[in-house]
Each structure stands twice: as C-alpha cells, then as structure tokens.
Chains A and B, each alone.
Chain A
Amino acid sequence: MMDKETYAELVSRTAPKSKHFSTIIRAFLIGGLICCIGQAFADIFAMAFPYLQKDEIASVVTVTMIFSGAFLTGIGVYDDIGNFAGAGSIIPITGFANSIVAPSMEFKKEGIIFGVCAKMFVVAGPVIVLGILSSALIGIIYWIF
C-alpha cells in the first residue's frame, strides 16, 4: 500500500509537464483572437453607425460579444472552445456570458425560478456584486475627497 504523500509525489512526477506550456499557448491564441473579434466589431460598428459616440460603440460591442458568447454556449460550441483554450475563453466577456448560460441551462430541470433564474448567477453573481460594490465605494471616495 502507498500512503497519500507517496501517491501525490508519484502523480506530480509522472504527470506530463509539457501540458502546462501548451495550455498557456492555447490561452494566448484564443484569448487574443476573441479580443481581435471584439476590435473588429468596434471598427465595423464605427463605420456603419458614424453618429454613435465612442462609449456607445463600446456598449454595442459588449452586447454583441455577450450575445455571441451566450449563443455559442447554447449550441454547445463554447464548451469545446473552453476545453481547448482554458483561461483564453474564461477571461474575455464572452466567458462571462458563458458563466451565465452554462449553469442555468444545466439546472433548467429545477424550474424557471430556482433553476434558470437562480443558477444564472452562480458565477456571475460574485462578479456583479464585487464589481458594483467596489466601484460604488470608489465613487463615494471620489465624492468625499
């Protein structure tokens, strides 16, 4: 019999090391690509709707990226991208959309309220809570000083 520590040491010795490097390359490629797609949307919208302000275009791009991320999650493609790209698919805003659609789709059988609507925010909830909390605090600090 092997005790736990010997086993852990054996695993860390035999697990492939090169995997670490290749995940980093894949995260870089897909993450960079998703950002370029966002930039392309921004450039296209700026040309198509010249009357929009710069931050309005940024909003339209965000909406488009979230739509794409949510749709690709729905048809099951984003899962494959995620398996390939790791953090390259998590960190872009499409990954935020994925973190909303994936759990709410999975828990749909628990009903609209406790399944879809509640599970939507399993990952997005902390992001929204901490984002609004910290930005409101910073706003208040600006107001004081």
Chain B
Amino acid sequence: MEIFLTYLTVFAVGGTICIIGQILLNLTKMTPARILVSFLLAGVFLEAVGLFKYIKDFAQAGVTVPICGFGSVLVKGAVKGANENGLLGAFLGSVTAASAGLTAAIVFGFLFSILFSSKNKS
C-alpha cells in the first residue's frame, strides 16, 4: 500500500511539472530548448533557497527525473564544495556532483548518434 502511494505521488508530481511545461508550450510558443532551460533554472532556484529538499523528500523521482533535478544536483554540489573547500570548492562542486549525468549524456549521445541514423521523414 505504501509503495502504491509513493508511485502515485511520483506520478502526480512528475506529471504536474510536465503539465506546466505543456501549458507554456501551448500558450507562449517557447521552444523546447527554452522550456528545458526554464525548468533547469527553476530547480536551481528551488535548491538555492532550500525548498527543493522538501519537495524531493515528498515526491522523490517525481521531481528528480525532470530536468529540475539536474539543476538541483549542480547547486547542491557547488554549495557543498563552497562549505568544504571555499572558493575552489564552489568551482569544483557543481560539475563534480553532476559528472555522472554529464558524462553519460556525452558518451551515450556520441555512441548512439554514430550507431544510428535518423529516419527519413516522408
């Protein structure tokens, strides 16, 4: 029962974030790139003011799988670095925390673009 409730929350929160994005797409003619950047910066902002932690405790993957989770990881790393290593840590921290995701994006991005070719749209 508890696991069902967890997944329901994940579904509802993740879906709601996507609804906000879809409304922006429909009403403002924003490009997908702008949508991605906006949600990333929303994650950055929520982490910076300390709210993201509470949403994450509540919604788990519902808020970490959307791109806001990536923004949150970057800020969390930078703040942790700044607390431990001062100014150098602020520079080291963000990419260190997000290194797995960034590397995966580049490695698999490169690999699959080499392996596959786009379908001809007819």
Q: Given A36-B7, A73-B112, A93-B70, are A139 and B22 neighbors across the interface (CB < 8 Å)?
A: no
Choose from B35, B94, B117 the contact partner of A136 (Cβ within 8 Å): B94
**CA–CA, A30 and B91, complex, Å:** 36
Partner of B116 from A34, A75, A136 at Cβ < 8 Å = A75
Residue of B nearest to A34 (CB): B65
* Cβ contacts under 8 Å, A95 to chain B: 32, 36, 67
Check A90–B95 contact: CB distance below 8 A.
no
Which residues, 126 to 145 on A, are CB-close (under 8 Å) to B? 126-128, 130-132, 134-136, 138-140, 142-143
Q: Assess whether B24 is interfacial by the CB under 8 Å rule.
A: yes
Q: Is the CB of A67 within 8 A of B7?
A: no
Q: Is the interface of B mostly helix, strand, loop or mixed?
A: helix
Interface size on B, residues (CB 8 A): 74
- The interface size bin for chain A is 35 or more
A81 beta carbon closer than 8 Å to chain B: no
Write the nearest CB–CB distance from B37 to chain A, whole angstroms: 5
When A36-B10, A96-B70, A120-B110 are in contact, do A127 and B37 touch as well, CB less than 8 Å? yes
The 4 closest A-B pairs by CB, nearest first: A31-B18, A35-B14, A139-B90, A139-B78
A residues lining the B interface (CB < 8 Å): 20, 23-24, 27-36, 38-39, 42, 58-63, 65-67, 70-71, 73-76, 79, 85-88, 90-93, 95-97, 99-102, 104-106, 108, 116-117, 120, 122-124, 126-128, 130-132, 134-136, 138-140, 142-143
24 contacts between A and B (CB under 8 A): A28-B16, A28-B18, A28-B19, A31-B14, A34-B14, A35-B13, A35-B66, A39-B62, A71-B112, A87-B24, A90-B25, A90-B36, A95-B36, A99-B32, A101-B108, A108-B113, A120-B110, A131-B70, A138-B44, A139-B75, A139-B90, A140-B87, A142-B78, A142-B82
